[in-house]
């Protein structure tokens, strides 16, 4: 979950390697690449292609005969599977619901951290915590916060006289917003750090010139800051959307997809199909549909990266 | 943004920063507070921030309820092995990605980017079948293999960045002095890369230590399971949980990655900003 930062960095200056040597990868290069290439082919590229093949078969767990080719049957079934479309819709809601506020909050924090404020070392240190924590612990931690009786959230609500509080994670209406808030919290650091890197790349002289011309803070942000960080912003948002759409552990720990499937993200649904009901072929077809959706966004991200290269 | 700013604007900035500090810190502080509270206080309908009667009882109970030590040992084994293997095989490849242009490094870069978009479910089912074929289900070695490949994209990216930071002129000078290719790599490039390799290994360690999904799918018996999987056993059926021991165990499981992250944090964010600024 941490590649965005490094990748957006590369988005800034993609062609500084090689220094125009233009050497082609000869025998030595192959020799150096081989130790990593073999596991990649066996455990990443291979399974990915195999997964696409499985989507066209009736593969099930524990079945002894080899899977039969069934063509597009799994995809036809998916088309009529209302539970899948529910989870798909929830996945999109969740991904947008997390990515957008996360971006806005992270941008605010990055701007503050970039300003010359006194407590910013503390904020920097704190902003790292969600990044370093295991997702499972983040989920457990927020369950303690949301706990209807012993949790701090309801106690604060009671103290402020805002009512009795409620059972956030099991309420039909509140479960999805509650997990979205956790998603926003958990993913803020990466986004903040990426945006901060973009901000620190903004030429200081431009700000001063704009200020001398009498531009206000908002005007300076729009005409100087935003154009400078736009490629990073686009890239990190696209990646965040993809990662959120594919996320699993956080919601698995918080609600396991409940109540009544209100937080059942596509990954949770596919996981159940594959490893509880053993429907490997069907779950693989879901994976294919998810890849298709995500590819569109990956394209957006790549365009952002290329743009970033031109700007640099 | 560090221009002379008006006093009201300054105050606004500090107020906003304070809100962020509270938002970022409060769940973590609550976790710590819960971990040190005796059962009596946890049952109270009016929880407090500071435990009135702090205790270590929850930690003792956590170790009684679940095999935490063995789970931690499993996590440690998986994370250390995965991190070591990952940097050993990634460093040469990262060198090629940084120094050579050609189909090989283009393909490697493409894989790094595309692998970020895989939904794990499309990979995990065939991976499960491949590992079953290799008799590596419910085995830490199977998990280690998966973690190695899973941490490679980021490791390659980080390491390629560190390679680019080594001036090619140094290698060329050594070549002029008559050193062979292998010799140059070992005695000129490798020492300069060492800090970057360590940072990458620590990062791979943290990633593996924190990982949940693959461990959940691939490890079946409690003796083999890693810490994140064992932590979910505290939640019990129907989400009924023993809050104190749960918080204590969760807090302990976070410490190693928090400490390591604090150590390499500067390298990650620093490297990031350095890479963003012109060379």
Over the stretch B103-155, which tens digit does the pLDDT of each residue have? 888 888 888 878 877 777 788 999 999 999 899 999 999 999 999 999 999 89
Chain A residues close to B20, C-beta within 8 Å: 105, 108-109, 112, 123, 126-127
Chain B nearest C-alpha distance from A115 (Å): 5
A276 at B interface, C-beta within 8 A = no
CA atoms of A283 and B193, how far apart (whole Å): 43
Q: Is the pLDDT of residue A309 over 70?
A: no
pLDDT of residue A26: 64
pLDDT of residue A262: 94
**B140-165 helix and B68-99 helix, angle to the nearest 10 degrees:** 40
Q: Among residues 116-145 of chain A, which lie with CB inside 8 Å of chain B? A: 116-120, 122-138, 140-145
Inter-chain touch A39–B89, beta carbons under 8 Å: yes
Most confident residue range from B28-42, B69-83, B257-271:
B69-83
pTM (two decimals): 0.88
pLDDT of residue B268: 65
Most confident residue range from A225-234, B29-38, B167-176:
B29-38
CA atoms of A250 and B268, how far apart (whole Å): 24
Instruction: Report the percent of chain A where pLDDT is more than 90.
Output: 44
Banded model confidence at residue A135, pLDDT cuts 50, 70, 90: very high
> Which residue would you say has higher pLDDT here, A94 or A206?
A94
CB B203 within 8 A of CB A190: no
Inter-chain touch B117–A294, beta carbons under 8 Å: yes
pLDDT of residue B270: 56
pLDDT of residue A218: 85
Looking at A22-26, A166-170, A178-182, A212-216, which range is the least confident one? A22-26
Nearest CA in chain B to A224: B1
Query: Chain-centre distance of CA A92, in angstroms?
Result: 12
Q: Quick check: helix, strand or coil at residue B253?
A: helix
In the DSSP assignment, the letter for residue A85 is H
Inter-chain touch B121–A271, beta carbons under 8 Å: yes
Phi, psi of B130 (to 5 degrees): -60, -45
Inter-chain touch A225–B148, beta carbons under 8 Å: no
Q: Is A254 exposed, middle or buried (0-12, 13-18, 19+ CB in 10 A)?
A: buried
Omega prior to A259 cis, within 30 of 0:
yes
Alpha helices, H only, chain B: 7-35, 39-43, 57-65, 68-99, 103-114, 120-133, 140-165, 168-176, 181-184, 190-210, 213-218, 227-233, 243-276
Closest by CA to B125, choosing from A11, A152, A265, A286, is A286
Banded model confidence at residue B240, pLDDT cuts 50, 70, 90: low
> Which residue would you say has higher pLDDT here, A304 or B233?
B233
Chain B residues close to A30, C-beta within 8 Å: 104
B19-to-A96, A195, B16 alpha-carbon distances in Å: 23, 19, 5
């Amino acid at each position: 979950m941490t590649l965005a930062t490094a990748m957006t960095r590369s988005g800034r200056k993609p062609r500084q390697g090689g220094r125009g040597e233009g050497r082609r990868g000869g025998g030595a290069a192959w020799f150096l690449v081989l130790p990593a290439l073999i596991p990649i082919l066996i455990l990443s590229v291979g399974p990915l292609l195999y997964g696409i093949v499985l989507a066209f078969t009736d593969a099930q767990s524990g079945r002894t005969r080899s899977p039969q080719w069934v063509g597009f049957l799994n995809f036809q079934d998916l088309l009529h599977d209302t539970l899948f479309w529910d989870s798909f819709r929830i996945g999109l809601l969740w991904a947008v619901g997390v990515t957008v506020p996360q971006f806005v909050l992270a941008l605010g924090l990055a701007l503050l951290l970039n300003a010359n404020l006194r407590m910013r070392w503390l904020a920097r240190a704190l902003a790292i915590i969600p990044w370093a924590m295991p997702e499972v612990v983040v989920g457990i931690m927020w369950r303690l916060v949301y706990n209807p009786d012993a949790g701090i959230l309801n106690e604060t609500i009671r103290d402020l006289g805002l009512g009795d509080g409620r059972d956030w994670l099991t309420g039909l209406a509140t479960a999805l917003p509650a997990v979205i808030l956790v998603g926003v919290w958990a993913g803020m650091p990466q986004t903040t750090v990426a945006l901060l890197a973009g901000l620190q790349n903004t030429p200081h002289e431009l700000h001063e010139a704009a200020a001398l011309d009498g531009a206000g803070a908002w005007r300076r942000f729009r005409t100087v800051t935003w154009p400078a960080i736009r490629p990073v912003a686009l890239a990190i948002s696209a990646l965040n959307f993809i990662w959120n759409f594919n996320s699993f552990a956080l919601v698995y720990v918080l609600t396991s997809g409940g109540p009544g499937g209100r937080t059942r993200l596509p990954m949770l649904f596919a996981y159940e199909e594959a490893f509880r009901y053993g429907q490997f072929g069907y779950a693989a077809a879901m994976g294919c549909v998810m890849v298709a959706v995500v590819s569109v966004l990956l394209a957006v991200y790549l365009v952002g990266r290329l743009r970033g290269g031109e700007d640099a | 943004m560090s221009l002379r700013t008006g006093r009201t604007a300054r105050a606004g900035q500090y107020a906003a920063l304070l809100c962020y500090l509270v938002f970022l810190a409060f769940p973590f502080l609550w976790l710590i507070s819960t971990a040190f509270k005796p059962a009596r206080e946890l049952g109270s309908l009016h929880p407090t921030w500071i435990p009135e009667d702090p205790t270590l009882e929850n930690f003792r109970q956590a170790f009684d309820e679940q095999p935490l030590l063995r789970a931690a040992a499993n996590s440690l084994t998986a994370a250390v092995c995965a991190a070591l293997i990952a940097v050993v095989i990634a460093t040469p490849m990262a060198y090629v990605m940084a120094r050579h242009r050609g189909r090989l490094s283009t393909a490697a870069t493409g894989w790094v980017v595309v692998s970020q978009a895989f939904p794990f479910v499309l990979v995990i089912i065939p991976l499960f079948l491949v590992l079953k074929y290799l008799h590596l289900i419910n085995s830490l070695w199977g998990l280690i293999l998966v973690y190695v490949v899973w941490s490679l994209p980021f490791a390659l990216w980080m390491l390629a960045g560190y390679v680019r930071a080594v001036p090619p002129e140094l290698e060329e000078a050594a070549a002029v002095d008559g050193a062979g290719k292998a010799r140059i790599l070992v005695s000129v490039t490798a020492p300069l890369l060492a800090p970057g390799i360590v940072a990458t290994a620590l990062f791979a360690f943290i990633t593996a230590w924190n990982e949940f999904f693959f461990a959940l799918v691939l490890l079946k018996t409690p003796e083999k399971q890693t810490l994140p999987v064992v932590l979910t056993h505290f939640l019990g059926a129907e989400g009924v949980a023993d809050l104190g021991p749960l918080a204590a165990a969760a807090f302990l499981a976070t410490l190693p990655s928090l400490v390591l992250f604090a150590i390499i944090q500067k390298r990650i964010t620093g490297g990031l900003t350095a890479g963003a600024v012109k060379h």
